[in-house]
Chains A and B, each alone.
Chain A
Amino acid sequence: MPCRNNGDFLQNIINKGLDMGASYCDIRFGKSKVTAIEVKDGELKKASSGEEEGVGIRVLYDGVWGFFSTNDTSEESLTNALTAAMKMARSGSTKAKEKVGLCEVDVIRDKVIWKPKKDPNDVPMTEKHKILSDMDETIHKIEGIHTVTSAYSEGTVEKRFLSSEGADIQIEMTRVVVQVNLVAREGAKVIGYRGRIGGTCGFELFDAQDPVEKGVKLGESAVRVLRAKRSPSGRFPVVADHELTGVFIHEAVGHATEGDLVTSGDSILEGQIGEIIASENVTIVDDSTVKAAFGSFPYDDEGVKGEKKQLIRNGVLEGYILNRETAYKLGMESNGGARAESFTARPLVRMSNTYIENGDHSLEELLKDTDYGIYAKGTRGGQVDTAKGSFQFSAQEAYLIEKGELTIPLRDVSLSGMTLKTLNNIDAVGNDFALGDPGYCGKGQLVPVGDGGPHIRIREAVVG
């Protein structure tokens, strides 16, 4: 079968959609090549390499969406997919109480190749394996480390987006990730610990970040946490490092600014544009243009250019993350926030790289002014109820702060609270910005994201 990344072939399907009565139609072709290796305690556990391609077809009929995807890219299968999408939209339109509208956007025809400096496809498998074996061996030398599981994966995606408005965008990009999961054990005490490095780039990732060094840092932290005391619970001042700050911003603020949650009544930030929602120290952006960052992309999955979106400036809510549909509903413009996990899924409003911008305090200053509190680092993830504005997230490593000094190491520090209250409680923002470990955000579909920020201090948070 010929490769289906062919403009005329795909355009022909769009034309058929218009003939069938669609008012708008887009088609996303995707082809991915993924290689993954996993090593556990020196042994290769998984070695996998595969390719997949397919298309997703989206039609708008009488203000209602229909979508169908298939990874059988024969002309017949695509025509069937189009027919199925049309049928869904048609039947939906009989029940529709509200019609979908799309905001106007620039019609773009472009080809963007984010070529990695060192294409992982040109790197021999043995070298990829060696990265994991070296990490494994070095981390195992740390006393207290019980097991080490490390995984390497690379993915090259070729995408093409065509719309009935005339857009035709081709994108090629590569992502590389190394993840480590550790178990540290001493007697009956046992803990899990994890970390990741990665980016939208090639093998040059490892020139900038040494996986062995990262692994050793994680291993040493894991052992410290293993020997740490259980955290006190209650309300305390908390100083969060760049990674925990990033997860807090992602979970508590980022999700609540997602246009679909805002328009569906599921966000505490609905109707809050122009209002003061955070302390004036706080400026937050979602930026899909950060070079080589994990959540970056040139165009979103509706053909809109990725941009740096100002969400909160000096405490004032300035914007949401929007796709074309939610922008239309809110009378705003799309800022390139539509992302789909792959061609198999319809694009949703998603974050890219979300972070809090630098303030002007050093970490020492943040700590110095804290009489009794908790310094929390890294994260095991978090979750949020955007409607109520409550959040939960867990730190990986933590210390007690007493009279401005870090004293006792703590374990199992988990923070929760109400988003708006916590944003107002950020009484100091550091000047040491960094992105945290790359992540995957789940909202029915998984997409790669980045998040981070400088150290911040929250005057009061619930620690459990």
Chain B
Amino acid sequence: MDCARRIVEAALDKGADEAEVFSLKGEGTGLAIERNIISSISGGAEQGIGIRVLKDGKLGFSYCTDESKSKEAISRALSISKLGRESDFTFPEPEKSRPVEKLFDERIAKYSAEEALEATSGLVEIALGVHPDIIVSRGGVGFGWGSFVVANSKGLEVESTGTYIGAGVYTVLKGEDMSTGFMDFSSRIFNIDFDVIGREASELAVKGQGARKVDTKEMDVVLTPDAASNLMEFLIAPALYGEAAHKGESVYSEKLDEIVAHESLSIVDDGALPGGLNSAEADDEGVSSKRTELISKGVLKGFLYSQGTALEYGEKNTANAMRAERLSSSRNYKSPPTVKARNIVVEGECRKVDELIGDVKEGVLVYDVLGAHTANPASGDFSVNSSMIFKIESGEVAHPIKSAMLAGNFPEALKNLKGIGDDYKLVSGGLTPISFHIPSMSLEGIRVTG
């Protein structure tokens, strides 16, 4: 905190009208699994400082790795600020932030590589025990802690520290034919069950044996939390960003207060979700994390803003400034803040997943989707491939499908939502820091191409 404050002062001394320092520190350990063995253990420690200055109404950004190099960084930020156009930007005022529960767990902070090694070997053993021909092809376990400080010349000072742990594995079964399985789990606290992850990944591959082709037609689709979050990450979340909405780049532009989804469906962004994978006391500009209703019982209620976009469009700051590099899911000091969803929470009338499946005459149950990042966020149109997919006939899972393509318009599909499950899962984004607390979702009228 003191170091951040000193650099803010130094930037003001150098001539900045306002200044902000984002300082990041963290340490992590990762174990990689390749073909049934733990192939490597690696770790890293990172620290860094991102500096934003405001001079004559123009913003400049630079970064460096430690305080000893901050003088040069301030000069670079001031020099690059000259390029900018004058705006009414000003850094956020300090406000009281609430503590958020379940972000830090001492057990993770103290977890050792040795313990993780033991647990990971256990996971692999359990997975291999499910079927004699199973291969745990790849996967990994990662854990660590991270902390960031934001200080600005308005007197704002915020610090947030958190831990994380996660594990995920892919399995391959070469039996009659080739099938694959997958399971993962992520958390901020130490509530991970390694054995369950191994077992379920293998069980999915076993279930995938005996796959058949599927006919090409429109049908119901039940998406597991992993598949649903993947489509939400690239098709729904970006359409709810204030700037995209104001600029007419979103399917939700000019639709405030209109019905945009099924009347039972609500979508919320909650940066303060207890234990949320992207929760923190504040966003990356130091603004207290908030819960923002985006779609409430089918009606579009709002969009997401950072300090810059809130000021530009005269809206309330929803604490959605995140610093992450493009195509990266982790917080980073090298990038200036942009708007990103924090934890997207899908709410509605939850039912047992069996009931969701029971309601499907003809459809598919989808565990994974490939290529959601290639979808068209401006229109909401998507076309993805799934190779962990099962046919549903007369309300029961009938047989696995070799591979199928799913296509449609996701925002439209949310209007035809048949229901959501009660199997809530914390899922982290694939290529963005956006995280989810999301159940299975059952949708109507998706084009399935076999």
Interface residues in chain A, defined as those with a beta carbon under 8 Å from any beta carbon in chain B: 1, 34-35, 37, 41, 43-44, 46-54, 56, 64-72, 77, 81, 84-85, 87-89, 91-92, 94-98, 100, 125-126, 129, 146-147, 183, 185, 189-192, 233-234, 260-261, 263-266, 344-346, 379-385, 387-388, 390-394, 411-412, 414, 416, 418, 440, 442, 446, 462-464
Among A69, A72, A85, A266, point to the contact of B172 (Cβ < 8 A): A266
A29 CB, min distance to chain B CBs, angstroms: 13
Q: List 28 A-B contacts (CB under 8 A).
A: A50-B64, A51-B69, A52-B334, A64-B41, A68-B43, A77-B45, A88-B29, A88-B43, A89-B41, A92-B113, A92-B117, A96-B37, A147-B248, A185-B248, A233-B407, A234-B449, A266-B137, A346-B42, A379-B374, A382-B374, A387-B137, A390-B370, A392-B384, A394-B374, A414-B383, A440-B327, A446-B327, A462-B405
Q: How far is the CA of A94 from the CA of B113 in the complex (A)?
A: 12
Q: CB distance A88 to B449 under 8 Å?
A: no
Say whether B156 faces chain A, with CB atoms less than 8 Å apart.
no
Interface stretch, picked from B55-63, B194-202, B272-280, B354-362, is B55-63
Excluding A192-B379, A265-B35, A392-B383, 15 further A-B contacts by CB distance (< 8 Å) are A41-B247, A44-B83, A50-B334, A52-B48, A68-B42, A70-B44, A92-B117, A146-B249, A185-B248, A233-B447, A392-B371, A411-B381, A414-B384, A416-B403, A464-B447
Interface stretch, picked from B73-81, B157-165, B421-429, is B73-81
Ranked nearest first, the 9 interchain pairs of A and B with the lowest CB-CB distance are A414-B383, A392-B385, A50-B63, A67-B42, A464-B405, A88-B41, A392-B371, A192-B378, A264-B35
User: Whose C-beta in chain B lies nearest to the C-beta of A247?
Assistant: B374
Q: A43-B85, A87-B113, A190-B378 are in contact. Are A394 and B44 (CB under 8 A)?
A: no
- What chain B residues lie within 8 Å of A85 (beta carbons)? 42-43
Q: CB distance B249 to A190 under 8 Å?
A: yes
- What chain B residues lie within 8 Å of A1 (beta carbons)? 68
Q: How far is the CA of A53 from the CA of B72 in the complex (A)?
A: 14
- What chain A residues lie within 8 Å of B43 (beta carbons)? 67-69, 84-85, 88
Q: A266-B170, A412-B383, A464-B449 are in contact. Are A95 and B117 (CB under 8 A)?
A: yes
Say whether B335 faces chain A, with CB atoms less than 8 Å apart.
yes
Among B85, B247, B384, point to the contact of A44 (Cβ < 8 A): B85
Say whether B191 faces chain A, with CB atoms less than 8 Å apart.
no
A270 CB, min distance to chain B CBs, angstroms: 10
**Which of A35, A97, A383, A391 is most buried by chain B, counting CB atoms within 10 A of its CB?**
A383
Among B180, B249, B450, point to the contact of A387 (Cβ < 8 A): B180
Interface residues in chain B, defined as those with a beta carbon under 8 Å from any beta carbon in chain A: 29, 34-48, 50, 59-66, 68-69, 72-73, 76-77, 79-85, 113-114, 117-118, 121, 135, 137-138, 170, 172, 178-180, 216, 247-249, 251, 327-328, 334-336, 338, 370-371, 373-379, 381, 383-385, 387, 403, 405-407, 431, 447, 449-450
B75 CB, min distance to chain A CBs, angstroms: 10
Q: How far is the CA of A189 from the CA of B249 in the complex (A)?
A: 11
Q: CB distance B370 to A48 under 8 Å?
A: no
- What chain A residues lie within 8 Å of B406 (beta carbons)? 464
B302 CB, min distance to chain A CBs, angstroms: 20
A322 CB, min distance to chain B CBs, angstroms: 14
A190 CB, min distance to chain B CBs, angstroms: 5
User: Whose C-beta in chain A lies nearest to the C-beta of B34?
Assistant: A264
Q: CB distance A88 to B113 under 8 Å?
A: yes
- What chain A residues lie within 8 Å of B34 (beta carbons)? 260, 263-264
- What chain B residues lie within 8 Å of A51 (beta carbons)? 63-65, 69, 72-73
Q: CB distance B114 to A91 under 8 Å?
A: yes
Q: CB distance B45 to A70 under 8 Å?
A: yes
- What chain B residues lie within 8 Å of A81 (beta carbons)? 45
- What chain B residues lie within 8 Å of A69 (beta carbons)? 42-46
Q: A190-B249, A412-B383 are in contact. Are A65 and B40 (CB under 8 A)?
A: yes
Q: CB distance B374 to A414 under 8 Å?
A: yes
Q: How far is the CA of A65 from the CA of B60 in the complex (A)?
A: 41
Q: How far is the CA of A102 from the CA of B23 in the complex (A)?
A: 39
- What chain B residues lie within 8 Å of A56 (beta carbons)? 44
- What chain A residues lie within 8 Å of B73 (beta carbons)? 50-51
A100 CB, min distance to chain B CBs, angstroms: 8
Q: How far is the CA of A183 from the CA of B387 in the complex (A)?
A: 31
User: Whose C-beta in chain A lies nearest to the C-beta of B73?
Assistant: A50
- What chain A residues lie within 8 Å of B377 (beta carbons)? 192
Among B35, B41, B59, point to the contact of A263 (Cβ < 8 A): B35
Q: A126-B83, A394-B371, A414-B371 are in contact. Are A48 and B336 (CB under 8 A)?
A: yes
Q: CB distance A383 to B385 under 8 Å?
A: yes
Q: How far is the CA of A254 from the CA of B258 in the complex (A)?
A: 46
A22 CB, min distance to chain B CBs, angstroms: 14
Among B41, B44, B170, B338, point to the contact of A92 (Cβ < 8 A): B41
Among A43, A50, A129, point to the contact of B76 (Cβ < 8 A): A50
B236 CB, min distance to chain A CBs, angstroms: 14
Q: CB distance A66 to B41 under 8 Å?
A: yes
